Amino acid sequence: MELYREVSVWERTETGGLAHYRCLELLQGGGFCVQSVDFYQPNDNIAERGLQFSRQFIELLSEEAAETRTHALPSLKEAIEAHKREFGEAQA
């Protein structure tokens, strides 16, 4: 059984929005992975989108262990960079 610590990392995007990287620290195995990234734009209904993103985060984690979805890396920065390479740069 793996234990996780959620770590939030925010980035300003080139379009004036925000990217919220929902990262997990694997407490037993060590390392970090990005579970998901949420994108916000200035005109978004923040409360509604935040609730939707939180629901998706929980659903993803309950469907599949984070460490099987992606490889854990030694640092948050490395995990975020790997996620960007795999899924493309900020989508917002």
* Span 27-86, pLDDT tens digits: 998 999 999 999 999 888 888 888 999 999 999 999 998 888 888 999 999 999 999 998
Q: What is the pLDDT of residue 43?
A: 86
Residue 37 CA to residue 30 CA, distance in Å, equals 21
Give DSSP secondary structure letters for 19-38.
EEEEEEEETTT--EEEEEEE
Q: What is the pTM of this model?
A: 0.87
Res. 91 pLDDT band, cuts 50 70 90: low
Residue 48 CA to residue 64 CA, distance in Å, equals 25
Residue 90 has pLDDT above 60, yes or no: no
